[in-house]
């Protein structure tokens, strides 16, 4: 199979971009990666660890010879970056991104492309709570989904090439309408992140009262929230500001449910609580059956893992 792209420019050199490059090195004919990051420190680190083939000191150089440019910057910066690189794109270059929000962002980026420019938005559903050029790894996309959100008018040939690109990195590619993507992600990602951030913030306030006991005894459930709430602040600020409507809708539903459960606790309605917790247990089974998590007893973490026990 012909490689879908020969020269790929990665704009933004963090976890996602780094993992694209490292992942592609497993291929027989990887594309050649150029790249640019706004901060000199990030570029220096990327050079030092050999993250991509060529780190450029300007956006213009990085995109000049690319036939695919992938914007790997926070979604709030994408329109500005697209505008800045516009004069330097060669004709026919496909522009894509890795943003967690699609409708608003695609709407803002598309007008910044040169005449005839092709935008194929993408969102690889993969990541860790780490960020920066040293956090990438080759297997990040293996078995994970990458959602493309083309709109009517997006050339099917460009979509097919980007699909092949992500499939070669190990991802399972799906297509979705941008608005639908944003609703699904509000449920599965954006609202859960905001809730985790909130709970950790509450505990941080109380930590002053309880003299770091919150940290000491965090293994009892709270710990899992802190991992989510350690994700990149800039990225998440932009996600919430750019998927405002869907996130607020889900948070509204969440608050309704939370009030119902709080009321059940207050009035001592044990049956309501029991039924609710039984129902949520079932959805966990669904996730395990779908292969989207492992059934290891993860609350025990390393200890259980090292003991090599089945769950």
Q: Which of residues 268-287 bind a second copy (CB under 8 A)?
A: 268, 270, 273-274, 276-287
Window 229 to 248, contacts with a second copy (CB under 8 A) = 229-231, 233-234, 236-238, 240-241, 244, 247-248
Q: Does 29 participate in binding a second copy (rule CB under 8 A)?
A: no
Q: Which is nearer to a second copy, 57 or 257 (CB)?
A: 257
Would you tell me how many other CB atoms lie within 10 Å of the CB of residue 200? 18
Q: What is the DSSP string of 47-84?
A: HHTT-SSEE-SSHHHHHHT-SEEEE-S-GGGHHHHHHH
Which one of residues 130, 132, 151, 177 is an interface residue with a second copy (CB under 8 A)?
Answer: 130
Q: Which stretch binds a second copy (CB under 8 A): 36-44, 49-57, 62-70, 123-131?
A: 123-131
Which one of residues 55, 69, 109, 140 is an interface residue with a second copy (CB under 8 A)?
Answer: 140
**Residue 70, phi-psi category: left (phi > 0), alpha (psi -120 to 50), beta (remainder):** beta
Q: Which stretch binds a second copy (CB under 8 A): 31-39, 59-67, 87-95, 260-268?
A: 260-268
- Residue 248: exposure state from Cβ atoms within 10 A (0-12, 13-18, ≥19): middle
Q: Which stretch binds a second copy (CB under 8 A): 47-55, 89-97, 109-117, 139-147?
A: 139-147
Window 63 to 122, contacts with a second copy (CB under 8 A) = 76, 100
Q: Does 39 participate in binding a second copy (rule CB under 8 A)?
A: no
Torsion of CA 280, 283, 287, 290, to 10 degrees: 170
Would you tell me how many other CB atoms lie within 10 Å of the CB of residue 177? 14
C-alpha 195/C-alpha 167 separation (Å) is: 32
Structure-block tokens of residue 110: 């598309």
Shortest reach from residue 7's CB to a second copy, in Å: 27
Q: Which stretch binds a second copy (CB under 8 A): 3-11, 55-63, 104-112, 136-144?
A: 136-144
C-alpha pair distances (Å), 243 with each of 67, 150, 189, 236, 275: 29, 18, 11, 10, 32
Q: Does 166 participate in binding a second copy (rule CB under 8 A)?
A: no
Which one of residues 36, 165, 166, 197 is an interface residue with a second copy (CB under 8 A)?
Answer: 197
C-alpha 61/C-alpha 33 separation (Å) is: 12
Q: Which is nearer to a second copy, 27 or 58 (CB)?
A: 27
C-alpha 234/C-alpha 284 separation (Å) is: 30
Torsion of CA 148, 171, 42, 25, to 10 degrees: -130
Which one of residues 143, 157, 160, 175 is an interface residue with a second copy (CB under 8 A)?
Answer: 143
Q: Which is nearer to a second copy, 108 or 203 (CB)?
A: 203
Which one of residues 27, 49, 160, 265 is an interface residue with a second copy (CB under 8 A)?
Answer: 265
Q: Does 2 participate in binding a second copy (rule CB under 8 A)?
A: no
| Beta bridge pairs of residue 147 | 123, 174
């Amino acid at each position: 199979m012909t490689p879908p792209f020969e020269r790929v420019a990665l704009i933004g050199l963090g976890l996602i971009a780094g993992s694209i490059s490292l992942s592609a090195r497993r291929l027989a004919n990887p594309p050649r990666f150029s790249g640019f990051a706004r901060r000199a420190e990030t570029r220096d680190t990327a050079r030092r660890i050999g993250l991509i083939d060529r780190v450029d000191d300007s956006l213009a150089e990085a995109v000049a010879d690319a036939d695919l440019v992938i914007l790997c910057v926070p979604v709030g910066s994408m329109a500005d970056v697209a505008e800045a690189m516009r004069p330097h794109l060669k004709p026919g270059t496909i522009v894509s991104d890795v943003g967690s929000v699609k409708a608003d962002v695609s709407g803002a980026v598309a007008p910044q492309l040169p005449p005839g420019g092709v935008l194929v938005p993408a969102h690889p559903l993969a990541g860790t709570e780490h960020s920066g050029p040293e956090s990438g790894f080759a297997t990040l996309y293996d078995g994970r989904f990458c959602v493309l959100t083309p709109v009517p008018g997006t050339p099917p040939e460009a979509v097919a090439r980007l699909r092949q690109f992500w499939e070669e990195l190990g991802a399972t590619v799906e297509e979705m309408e941008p608005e639908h993507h944003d609703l699904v992600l509000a449920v599965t990602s954006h609202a859960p992140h905001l809730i985790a951030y909130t709970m950790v913030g509450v505990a941080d306030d109380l930590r002053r009262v309880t003299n770091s006991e919150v940290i000491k005894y965090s293994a009892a459930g709270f710990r899992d929230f802190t991992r989510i709430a350690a994700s990149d602040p800039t990225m998440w600020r932009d996600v919430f500001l750019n998927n405002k409507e869907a996130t607020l809708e889900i948070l509204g539903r969440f608050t309704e449910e939370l009030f119902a459960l709080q009321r059940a606790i207050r009035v001592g309605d044990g049956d309501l609580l029991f039924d609710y917790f039984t129902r949520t247990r079932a959805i966990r089974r669904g996730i395990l059956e779908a292969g989207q998590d492992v059934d290891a007893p993860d609350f025990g973490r390393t200890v259980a893992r090292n003991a090599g026990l089945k769950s």
